[in-house]
Chain A
Amino acid sequence: MRDFIRVSAVLLLLLALMACNAAPSPEPAATEGVGAGEATTTTETGSATAVSESSPTVPSSEGAQVAGGRLQAVQDRGELICGVHGSLPGFGIVDASGEYAGFDVDFCRAIAAAVLGDPEAVEFRPLTAQERFTAVQTGEVDVLSRNTTYTISRDTSVGLDFGPVTFYDGQGMMVRKDSGIESLEDMAGATICVQSGTTTELNLADSFRARSIEFTPVVFSDADPTREAYNSGQCDGFTTDRSGLVASQTQLTAPEDHKILPDTLSKEPLGPSVLQGDAQWADVITWVVYATIQAEEFGIDQSNLEEMLASEDPNIRRFLGAEGELGQGMGLSNDFVVQIIRGVGNYGEIYNRNLGPDTPFDLPRGQNSLFTEGGLLYSPPFR
């Protein structure tokens, strides 16, 4: 009799495992748990191990590609999960009050404002350069807004879809002023700190290969240790995007002892990205970014938004959703632009708040000005 109870208990357990396996599980963690559990008890290590080990990377198709689209999933959840940097001042960092702040972070807020009507409905996930693509591929984050360079291989073989470029950058090199280095050609034999999993890492090797200069790389997988290694003198040079260098310089022990070389190693257009294969969600990201640019072009900002809402100009009326159904076309409310501007402001406001003259970085707009002012920012028409 006792045996029978034991046997039926085992059977029940097995059935339970089968059940949670057969049911489409909304929690990727659940399938993982079962997979790992089975793998440890089975002797068929070959296939079982392979799957259980790879499943954390790709938990389940439900996790990566949401049925009904990512937009629907975000709206159902009531919160946007946004992958950000976490420790890069000006772009993505936790500020003194414990809130995420920065240029990339504000674009997350803009998307949340457009999709959910609330710029604060964002859950930020700080990611290293190494982790970020896996986080998108597995659907852990809805959107990646983490000073990520837009390249063809990332858009294709890495499986991302990029939104418009939010920041035109170029790779630079920081050195100590007393090192006597004036250009990259002076750096033969130098040790250079770089972060792995970045385009920077590739461009560094390419640039020095093109110039036939030998150098010793010190490669870290995270931004903070890379900067600290340079700060401590483990490296003669520190390379990343120019904006990143300016931001990192403020975190060094003696910022005034360092300078950024005039050489530009590469072009680095930075922008938000989402997982490939969800055109609707990619459209949302794309047009949220364009909305901030178009708003600046129209001269609409947080201070004059209410007046502009009463504007007679049909272009502005359509843009702000007073006329037409531009928002509904992609599953948003028609006043999504109003929500964005109310939440975070137009492109210029986002830029100035995080990188402008009132910040420690005081980065000139340069290429990141509207095309009407000689920059590269150009939004397709909202109609």
Chain B
Amino acid sequence: MAEVPLRRTQQSVPFWRDVKIIAILLQVLFVIVVLAVTIFLYTNMVEGLRRSNLLPNLSFLNQSASIAIGEGLPYTPSDTWRYAFLVGVVNTLRIAIVGVILATLLGLVVGISRLSNNWLLRNVAYTYIEIVRNIPLLVQLIFWATVAQNLPTVQNSINLGGLLHLTNRGVFLAWPRGSESMGSWVPWLYGALVAGVALFLWRRQMLARLDRPGAVLPLALLGVAVVALLGFVITWIMRGVAPLYLDVPLLDRFNFKGGTVLTSQFSTLLFGLVIYTASFISEIVRAGIQAVSKGQREAARALGLSDWQSLRLVVLPQALRIMIPPMTNQYLNLSKNSSLAFAIGYPDLFTIGSTINNQTGQIIPPILMIMGSYLTISLTTSLAMNLYNRRIQLHER
């Protein structure tokens, strides 16, 4: 009874009704379609560019850029477009790296506050998250740019003891710089580094031998600080001049000279991105903490750990495993969102890339350069986060 239909299947199913063959055929067809579309679009594009005499040509990379760039690596308008683009890439990286660190810290604080027992803290965090994450980032950036523009002018700066000037051109900060005796202090710094590493290894080995938990890094950092400070004082006494002095910003004719400056554009973009991304990160933190089973916290309390200890030693390390993958997304978002810099005048890689397009008439190469840069930044971030993720996951045996 069962053999009859089986035999019929074997004999009478033609190949075009065989599910296996259809599956293969479809895939082949799909690849052909994709290739055809790609080739069509490519030839179409090349044809269009050829007719307008705009075929890609990379010679512009070595031509002098002749544009002024407000901040970033040392740069003069006589440098090449290639270097100008690099300035943009570094500016994007500055924003992305500082932004990711600050957004993580702020997100952590807000996320934990969101679960606090304190009514005020909890609701402030809640309000912040709900307002910030529901307004488009571009709108927020333009809002912050307007706020920054309405800060006092350079001449009427908000002055904190002469060390910090808040103006609509940015924040001018006093900044430590090496003096003539800096050279004598440098060996001490190397010494501090060696001491730090040594302490770190020794402490780690000791803890492992005693089979006891404990933090390794704080002691090592303390060692570094002690040696560096000792060297600082000794150099000061021996040479009569401190190895570092504080370079205080002083008002020149138009701008502050000395110290360092966080330009209005940099600060606005950083502030906007951090505020925005932190609101998402805080929700990830909250979700991560809440996903740790309640029993863990109760067990920690039963062992006599305080709230803070149980959060830091029991809950957060477990929450971290859940938080890392969505966190990676937010880091990527932050890096990519930094391209909104074009709206507020910060010279990031997108802004400079579009200027290349505009000033040289080349269309395809700058776009590919922009895309390649963002892709590299994103994939590197992703890779690093994935490696970290793999390291902190539970290893089941």
Interface residues of B in 28-83 (CB under 8 A from A): 29-30, 33-34, 36-38, 40-42, 44-45, 47-49, 51-54, 66-70, 76-78
Given A133-B361, A219-B345: A194 and B37 interface contact (C-beta under 8 Å)? no
CB of A233 within 8 Å of the partner chain: yes
Given A153-B361, A158-B361, A218-B265: A191 and B169 interface contact (C-beta under 8 Å)? yes
A107 to chain B minimum Cβ distance, whole angstroms, is 22
A61 to B52, CA, bound (A): 9
CB of B126 within 8 Å of the partner chain: no
CB of A87 within 8 Å of the partner chain: no
| A residues less than 8 Å from B265 (CB atoms) | 218
Can you list, as one digit per residue, whether each of A50-90 has a CB less than 8 Å from chain B (1) or not (0)? 11111101101101110000000000000000000000000
**Structural contact, A47 and B53, CB atoms closer than 8 A:** no
Most buried by B among A49, A63, A133, A217: A217
B47 to chain A minimum Cβ distance, whole angstroms, is 5
**Structural contact, B36 and A18, CB atoms closer than 8 A:** yes
The closest CB in chain A to the CB of B65 belongs to A205
A101 to chain B minimum Cβ distance, whole angstroms, is 26
A interface size (C-beta, 8 A) = 76
**Structural contact, A58 and B45, CB atoms closer than 8 A:** yes
**Structural contact, B22 and A7, CB atoms closer than 8 A:** yes
B interface size (C-beta, 8 A) = 64
Interface residues of A in 133-188 (CB under 8 A from B): 133-134, 137, 153-154, 157-159, 179, 187-188
| B residues less than 8 Å from A7 (CB atoms) | 22, 26
**Structural contact, A205 and B77, CB atoms closer than 8 A:** yes
From B202-210, B291-299, B351-359, give the one contacting chain A: B351-359
A194 to B17, CA, bound (A): 67
B77's contact among A153, A179, A209, by CB below 8 Å, is which?
Answer: A209
**Structural contact, B253 and A55, CB atoms closer than 8 A:** no
**Structural contact, A205 and B367, CB atoms closer than 8 A:** no
CB of B347 within 8 Å of the partner chain: yes
B33's contact among A17, A50, A159, A236, by CB below 8 Å, is which?
Answer: A17
B254's contact among A55, A134, A191, A232, by CB below 8 Å, is which?
Answer: A191
A153 to B66, CA, bound (A): 14
CB of B363 within 8 Å of the partner chain: yes
A96 to chain B minimum Cβ distance, whole angstroms, is 25
CB of B153 within 8 Å of the partner chain: yes
A64 to B40, CA, bound (A): 16
A295 to B367, CA, bound (A): 45
| B residues less than 8 Å from A189 (CB atoms) | 252-255, 257
Interface residues of B in 245-298 (CB under 8 A from A): 252-255, 257, 264-265
A201's contact among B49, B68, B342, B363, by CB below 8 Å, is which?
Answer: B68
Given A17-B33, A216-B70, A232-B149: A130 and B345 interface contact (C-beta under 8 Å)? no
CB of A255 within 8 Å of the partner chain: no
Can you list, as one digit per residue, whether each of A1-36 has a CB less than 8 Å from chain B (1) or not (0)? 001100100110010011001000000000100110
Given A60-B44, A194-B68, A205-B68: A277 and B51 interface contact (C-beta under 8 Å)? yes
CB of A190 within 8 Å of the partner chain: yes
Can you list, as one digit per residue, whether each of A187-218 has a CB less than 8 Å from chain B (1) or not (0)? 11111001011000110111011000001111
**Structural contact, B47 and A54, CB atoms closer than 8 A:** no
Can you list, as one digit per residue, whether each of A38-49 has a CB less than 8 Å from chain B (1) or not (0)? 100110100111
**Structural contact, B358 and A197, CB atoms closer than 8 A:** yes
| A residues less than 8 Å from B363 (CB atoms) | 54, 57-58, 134, 137
The closest CB in chain B to the CB of A61 belongs to B48
A157 to B361, CA, bound (A): 6
The closest CB in chain A to the CB of B153 belongs to A233
| A residues less than 8 Å from B98 (CB atoms) | none
B270 to chain A minimum Cβ distance, whole angstroms, is 16
A276 to chain B minimum Cβ distance, whole angstroms, is 6
Please report A residues at the B interface, Cβ cutoff 8 Å. Answer: 3-4, 7, 10-11, 14, 17-18, 21, 31, 34-35, 38, 41-42, 44, 47-55, 57-58, 60-61, 63-65, 129-130, 133-134, 137, 153-154, 157-159, 179, 187-191, 194, 196-197, 201-202, 204-206, 208-209, 215-221, 225-226, 228-229, 232-234, 236, 275-277
Q: Can you show 7 pairs from A to B with CB atoms below 8 A apart?
A: A47-B42, A159-B52, A189-B254, A196-B354, A202-B66, A205-B68, A225-B145
Please report B residues at the A interface, Cβ cutoff 8 Å. Answer: 17, 19, 22, 26, 29-30, 33-34, 36-38, 40-42, 44-45, 47-49, 51-54, 66-70, 76-78, 145, 149-150, 153-154, 168-169, 252-255, 257, 264-265, 342-345, 347, 351, 354-355, 357-364, 367-368, 371
Known: A201-B68, A205-B77. 15 other contacts (CB 8 A): A44-B38, A47-B38, A54-B363, A65-B48, A65-B52, A129-B358, A130-B354, A153-B361, A157-B361, A196-B67, A196-B351, A202-B67, A209-B76, A225-B145, A276-B53
